[in-house]
Amino acid sequence: MKKALLLKALLVIFGVLLLDQFIKILIKTHFYYGETYYVFGLNWFQIHFIENNGMAFGMEFAGSYGKIILTVFRLIASSAIAWYLWILIKKQSNSFLIITIALIFTGAIGNILDSMFYGLMFSESTGFDKAVFMPAGGGYGTFLHGKVVDMLYFPVINTTWAHWIPFIGGSSFEFFQPIFNIADSAITIGVFLLLIFQKRMFKPSKAAETVEVVEE
């Protein structure tokens, strides 16, 4: 049973991580910075290439040292999540919970890889030059100073508030504004599932209950 749970977790981790990195590298090496592609010609489903120095969904964290602090914090947090995931597997906890934690862990690792290595692996992306993988002159940054690649953009609503509305009248309104990636999505989905189904997830699995009965 432990092997089956471990296999499920590994499939989630490597499956999501490979998809995340494949899409990021594809976008990084084939798009100009700021380039937009309208999927199926839809305005609300766009691939829009940007990079950020900080947190998920394009948020920023102050300065060069802030970048290092954020990456180190991510590494520590990811290590803690990995340890918790291993404990859950050893205890043969609910498989739904294990998959959910695996999603959160994978999302964190996906963005950590960008921060740690992309500065070494790629040349700078600009509006005139596409990035080159492993350029002869070296990458655009140093270890821990890579930028996180974002590309998924869903401006489902893009309108202007009516002029008669106090304070906000005449200003533009856009939903959903953040641009994100597969790793961000994995974290968001994992946290959402954890909040919605926590009662079901933390209910002891039948396998765990069987083990307890046998031990008694």
Mean local confidence (pLDDT), 44-59: 79
- For residue 207, what pLDDT is reported? 53
Question: Of 20, 114, 129, 150, which one is the catalytic site residue?
Answer: 150
- For residue 11, what pLDDT is reported? 97
- 46 by DSSP, 3-state: which? strand
C-alpha span between 107 and 188 (Å, rounded): 9
The residue written with tokens 């296999």 in the block is 7
- For residue 192, what pLDDT is reported? 96
pLDDT-wise least confident of 67-81, 130-144, 195-209: 195-209
- Supply 46's token pair: 């766009």
Buried b (16+ CB within 10 A) or exposed e, 115-143: bbebbbbbbebeeeebbbeeeeeebbbee
Mean local confidence (pLDDT), 102-123: 96
Helices marked H in 55-181:
63-90, 95-121
The H or E element containing residue 38 is strand 36-38
Does pLDDT of 126 surpass 90? yes
Task: Please indicate whether residue 150 is annotated as part of the active site.
Answer: yes
Does pLDDT of 174 surpass 80? yes
Task: Please indicate whether residue 114 is annotated as part of the active site.
Answer: no
Give residue-wise pLDDT tens across range 91-110. Answer: 999 999 999 999 999 999 99
Q: Give CA 90 to chain center in angstroms.
A: 26
- Structure confidence at residue 214 as a pLDDT band (50, 70, 90): very low
Cis peptide upstream of residue 176 (ω within 30 degrees of 0): yes
C-alpha span between 66 and 50 (Å, rounded): 20
- 177 by DSSP, 3-state: which? coil
Question: Of 20, 114, 129, 184, which one is the catalytic site residue?
Answer: 184
The mean pLDDT value of the chain amounts to 89
Stated pTM of the model: 0.85
Mean local confidence (pLDDT), 21-41: 97
